[in-house]
Amino acid sequence: MPKFGLPASIHPVKFRNLLKEQIKIMALLHNRVSQKELKQKLFEETEHRITISFYRYFVINDPKNFRDELYKAFNKLKIFGRIYVAAEGINAQISVPESNFQGLKDYLDSCEYFKNLRLNIAVSDGKSFWVLKIKVREKIVADGISDPTFSMQERGKYLNAEEFNKLSESDNTVIIDMRNHYEYEVGHFENAIEIPSDTFRDQLPMAAEMMAGNEEKNLIMYCTGGIRCEKASAYMMHRGFKNVFHLEGGIIHYSNVAKQKNLPNKFKGKNFVFDERLGERITEEIISFCHQCGKPADTHTNCANEACHLLFIQCEECKNNYNGCCSNTCKEVKDLPDDVQKEIRKGIKNDSMIFNKSKRRSLSHS
């Protein structure tokens, strides 16, 4: 009994009741349905879902308990999505049935730590998530910062869409994209500088090094929804830069406001998003190219060969020619029986480097 954290003298009946209650809670907090079934249920839904992202940096003393309570509340609202919780705050990308949207807002408003939370509504529609996953992590954004003197309390100033447009036109302003290369490739702000690194933790020191000598210039940091550029603005100030700004709500909020207020939209192309859609169109311009044939294209896809699963840009013609695969080799594997494919996949581990294989070059057709 003691290994469950209960007194040795606890009555057996009481213990059984407590154990049953704990099992019920654990069953609620974990998904027992296969991914295939969950996807099928999502596409069978007839009600429209709203895709939303939000984040907030605040102190969470007990991330595990916070996670469990949030899961129970969101599960009741039939919310799907991917949420990270850490001692430094929360980072969430979710979808909610339209009929439960007000219920979501009411729940968030009832929590002190979510008061006046900005919800970024997706620019484009689509089936974005099919399951609810809430994970406890060391940080909501992996930044690699180990300096104990770094603080999120000292961060750059917010810029709304109108302020961004005005300041971006100044010759004394540098616009810095704090996203990964595959995000920047399909869409970015006019004159934005890419930090050519594959991870946010590497981008931070690289951005500071690239901007050395520009400590007095206006530095505007931006990202998809605001979470990375907000931390990046704090890091740049920590490194001695004076006039640091970050785009409020990132590309998503900027694009919505620009549309609502009929402002010039300085973002060109497509906004990459980390869900099933893999992108939402901001403007009609296509600024990237198919990684296989080189024709203008900006549709990201994962190689249909599950043993590869490479993220790359593919035009419709190449999609048909390669059956959704990145090469003839992968196409041949995909055509094999399922049991043979499973054998091939055994022992293969795909990590974040899967995004980098096709960077700035065409894929091999072999």
Catalytic residues, by residue number, are: 223
- Of 196, 239, 246, which is closest to residue 220 (Cα–Cα)? 246
- Scan for tokens 């055509």, then name that residue: 335
Tell me how long the chain is. 366
**What are φ and ψ of residue 230, in 5° steps?**
-65, -45
Written as six digits, the tokens of 126 are 């689509």
Written as six digits, the tokens of 29 are 């907090």
Name the maximum alpha-carbon separation found in the chain: 75
**What are φ and ψ of residue 51, in 5° steps?**
-95, 130
Contact 174/168 with Cβ under 8 angstroms? no
| CA distance linking residue 116 with residue 1, whole number of Å | 45
DSSP state of 313: E
Which residues lie across from 49 on neighbouring strands?
Answer: 97
Packing angle of the helix pair 250-260, 161-168 (nearest 10 deg):
100
DSSP state of 118: P
Reduced DSSP (H G I as helix, E B as strand, rest coil) percent helix, strand, coil of the chain, to 5:
35, 20, 45
| CA distance linking residue 246 with residue 230, whole number of Å | 6
List, as own/partner pairs, every contact residues 150-154 make where C-beta atoms lie below 8 angstroms and the sequence separation is at least 24, other chains included.
150/234, 150/235, 150/238, 151/234, 151/238, 152/57, 152/88, 152/230, 152/231, 152/234, 153/234, 154/234, 154/237, 154/238
Strands (E), the chain: 49-57, 80-86, 89-97, 120-121, 132-136, 157-159, 173-177, 187-189, 193-194, 218-222, 243-247, 267-271, 280-281, 300-302, 311-313
- Scan for tokens 């795909």, then name that residue: 350
